[in-house]
Amino acid sequence: MKPALFALLLLTASFFSCTAVKRNKPDQVRPYIPADQELYEAIVGIDRAFFDAYNTCDLEKQASIYADAIEFYHDQGGLSTSKQDILDATERNICGKVTRELVAGSIEVYPIKGYGAVEMGFHQFHNSQEPEAIPTPSKFVIMWKDDGGKWEITKVISLH
């Protein structure tokens, strides 16, 4: 094979392989747009209702939203699977001391076919016992089950 032809083939192969790599590589992360606006608004509304109850220590309301078979994964506290233990810990450690503030615009909601939805976002907590502390946003994930039109929290992942 002639050197000029070999160089041309090599250059052509290099061009196509570089072009293919560029096409397969994502340009950037796109901003979140809900796939189902109605579902998004429903979950955001239920999130608001739950955390209004959290911030005002309405344990009865919280209990009505938590599923009986709750799984609560906390990066510092570990796994809790007892609804009553979670409510007791909330009463002991949160009521009158800590409030949750959602980071505006951070919620993402994705439908889970045949189950409900997953919600992800960022929130921060204000501790009245430590007024000088500057809260930092932390990530959360909540699994919502649509139980015949009643939405329940079945799993929580709380990361700080």
In a domain, 143, yes or no: yes
In a domain, 121, yes or no: yes
Q: Which residue range(s) make up the domain with 154?
A: 37-158
In a domain, 127, yes or no: yes
Single out the residue of 39, 62, 73 nearest to residue 160, CA to CA: 73
Write out pLDDT tens, residues 40-65: 999 999 999 999 999 999 999 999 99
Domain count, the chain: 1
Are 135 and 126 spatial neighbours (Cβ–Cβ below 8 Å)? yes
In a domain, 27, yes or no: no
In a domain, 7, yes or no: no
Write out pLDDT tens, residues 88-109: 999 999 999 999 999 999 999 9
Task: Tell me how far apart the alpha carbons of residues 56 and 111 are, in angstroms, rounded to a whole number.
Answer: 29
In a domain, 50, yes or no: yes
Task: Tell me how far apart the alpha carbons of residues 112 and 86 are, in angstroms, rounded to a whole number.
Answer: 25
Q: The pTM is what?
A: 0.81
Q: Which residues of the chain have pLDDT under 70?
A: 1-27
Single out the residue of 141, 99, 93 nearest to residue 124, CA to CA: 99
In a domain, 1, yes or no: no
In a domain, 147, yes or no: yes
Task: Report CA torsion sign: 100, 137, 90, 61.
Answer: positive
Q: Give residues with Cβ within 8 angstroms of 61, minimum separation 6.
A: 49, 50, 53
Residue 114, domain CATH? 3.10.450.50
